[in-house]
Amino acid sequence: MRHLVRLLAVLCVATPALAWEHWGGDRGGSRFSPLKEITPDNVANLIRAWEFRTGDLDRRAPEVMRRTKFQATPLFVEDSLVFCSPFNEVIALDPGSGAQKWRYDPGISTHQRPANRYVCRGVAYWVDDNAPAGAVCRSRIFMGTNDARLIALDAKSGIRCTGFGNAGEVRLDIGMTLEWPGEFQVTSPPVVGRGVIVVGSAIGDNRRVDAPRGAVRAFDARSGAPRWNFDPLRHDGIEAGHANVWAPMSVDEARGLVFLPTTSPSPDFWGGKRSGNNEHANSVVALRIETGEQVWSFQTVHHDLWDYDLPAQPTLARIDVSEAMRDVVIQPTKQGFLFVLDRNSGRPVWPVEERAVPQGAAEGERPSPTQPFPTHVPTLVPQKISVDDAFDPFPLLGRSTCKEQFASARSEGLYTPPSTQGTLLFPFTGGGVNWGGVAFDPLHQILYANVSRAVHLVKLIPREQAIGFNPPPGHDFGRQEGAPFAMSRAVVMSPLGLLCNKPPWGEMVAVDLRAGKILWRSTVGTTEDRAPLGIARPWGMPLVNGVVVTAGGLVFTGAMDAYLRAFDAKTGRELWQGRLPVPGVANPMTYLWRGEQYVVISAGGHSEAGTTIGDSVVAFRLPRQGEAPSLWSRTIDRPGGRFLGGAISAGLVVALMAAGTWRWRRRSDAR
């Protein structure tokens, strides 16, 4: 009987995913597809179907391209694949051939220096059921831009919807003067429900206490008229901005709710002028989408001092709890937690404990004495680092600078306050889980997530020392004006260019939510595209992107090396790799076109991580009769992929990386 209930749940939530009409597959971001043509038995036969290039590499200056991140997930709507480039060009492709059908260019300036680089993770799709069939702009594509506009296009042709706002666009009113044009931007797709479109924002971090406010804005999806604004922060007696929503949001159309994953207040690492818990920062907030009225809020970090904002879309799911199906919100975090909340009330489905955390903060700071810890679902990554955890693959070369760096800093576990001595943050501010979010298989009740393992060293710099401070290479420097301290932040690495914590540095994790246990872990990514000679050590690579799980029993993901990968959803065994022109640091998607299942990923590299940059969208499918095997595909004979064995290859990697061929660059929160 329970299996039948689960099957009905799949049919209810999965049908829209056949079309992939939303960034996360459906409005709730499950990233589950009911397609099953590609299976563990035939995935090894996948061939590259087509590759489309946006043309940015040819048309943009190299210094501009180095400020981009191509992280878009296409939608499959109106018989087209529709996505946005880092410069907010919206492009529609033929699903079978990858040929361009139409293109819209909003004319983004390449001189604005966006705080989070030029990035557009996706667009939103909406159909106006009140409009006549066949009318222009009955179906619409909405996009937020790097220069703070909200644009509406006809989904079939790409022309502007002139009845929306001012000739098809609304300029977002930021409400204050920006320090520079790129301090405020929109990087994630808006969401639409009940005729209302909701858009968040991405704002430059650690610049000043009096930073732009993180208001979420809603507009009428037909006319573009303002509907409501919601500021997550209560500004009574505090000095702070932000708590913005830069990650994707989710919508429950039936309940009329929109779910916001909010961020930390400004600045990130010193909050002496924003006393208290800073409600509703670092929270999942449920609003009525038609009015902006708050229904409930659940805070995952009190008085955040670690940039542990909510980076991922809240995933809406029906889970099997105590002999019944229950509607929930699953919120992954950078710390590696999974908070599972009742969708109606926001109360935790399983107990969340307030536990004492390290104290002894910098002058003027008053950290929260406790923080919330979920108790039922295990953490997805370790949360404490020590000298014994330092990675020293070649100790005969001499003393370990990694151990020295670990030993010199404060490291008392999760939520150790930032300090002038220097504090280790583990997980680092890039996760745990980052903006790629999680995927949920409703039939088997299993959640899948990509996670990263890296360490940040954060140091507070007294104001008098910050004047004229020149950060060392690889260090992120934030002035935090208005606070008594500036800050510096860097991923802890050895002189050889390796992360200082022991591998794996990137993993995929499968979680049985009902049982509260991790089913398997699988390392994702090798050093093949980061070390000379293609030496591929199976150490995993930091992962900011997410996965897609299919009813065919597969989980697909990109990584920091140039492969799209397929894993067996039951066992975690890596089954197949599809070669990409550059790393695919984006969420993959899948769709059915004329009876054939395709898997697609944007391959643009990751400028902050120092990878090769590209501008491709690549699709794979099973071969048709008579088609030869693809040179772009290979099967995996062992977990972790192809690599040279033993200490010889490890030594070669270490020696070659000493030349500086591998790096994880300074903006390592990876937004």
Q: Which residue has the tokens 């296409």?
A: 74
Amino acid letter for position 187: T
Q: Which residue has the tokens 């500086």?
A: 660
- Whole-angstrom Cα Rg for the chain: 23
Whole-angstrom CA distances from 109 to 86, 146, 150, 182 are 12, 9, 16, 10
CA angle 606, 552, 340 (to 5 degrees): 65
CA angle 629, 582, 538 (to 5 degrees): 80
Per-residue buried b or exposed e for 212-248, using 16+ beta carbons within 10 Å of the residue's own CB: bbbbbbbbebbebeebbebebbeeeeebbbbbbbbbb
CA atoms within 13 A on the CB side of 410: 19
Which residues have a Cβ under 8 Å from the Cβ of 423 and sit 6 or more positions away? 409, 410, 411, 416, 417, 457, 458, 459
Given a contact cutoff of 8 angstroms between Cβ atoms, the answer to whether 92 and 110 are in contact is no
Name the region of 435 (left: φ>0; alpha: ψ -120 to 50; beta: rest): alpha
> Is the omega angle on the peptide bond into residue 427 within 30 degrees of 0, that is, cis?
yes
> Is the omega angle on the peptide bond into residue 495 within 30 degrees of 0, that is, cis?
no
Catalytic residue at 173? no
State the CB neighbour count (10 A cutoff) for residue 652: 16
Give strand ranges (E) for 194-314: 196-199, 202-203, 216-220, 226-230, 250-252, 257-261, 283-288, 294-299
CA distance 492 to 611: 18
Given a contact cutoff of 8 angstroms between Cβ atoms, the answer to whether 313 and 24 are in contact is yes
Q: Which residue has the tokens 């105590």?
A: 322
CA distance 601 to 582: 11
Given a contact cutoff of 8 angstroms between Cβ atoms, the answer to whether 117 and 70 are in contact is no
Give strand ranges (E) for 384-505: 423-425, 438-441, 446-452, 456-462, 476-478, 485-491
Active-site residue, from 307, 476, 561, 568: 307
3-state secondary structure at position 387: helix
- For 118, the token pair is 């030029």
Number of H helices, E strands in the chain: 6, 43
- For 648, the token pair is 């010889």
3-state secondary structure at position 202: strand
Which residues have a Cβ under 8 Å from the Cβ of 446 and sit 6 or more positions away? 440, 510, 511, 512, 513, 519, 549, 569
Whole-angstrom CA distances from 97 to 302, 598, 614 are 50, 11, 20
State the CB neighbour count (10 A cutoff) for residue 4: 8
Whole-angstrom CA distances from 650 to 394, 403, 529, 653 are 8, 19, 15, 5
Active site residues: 307
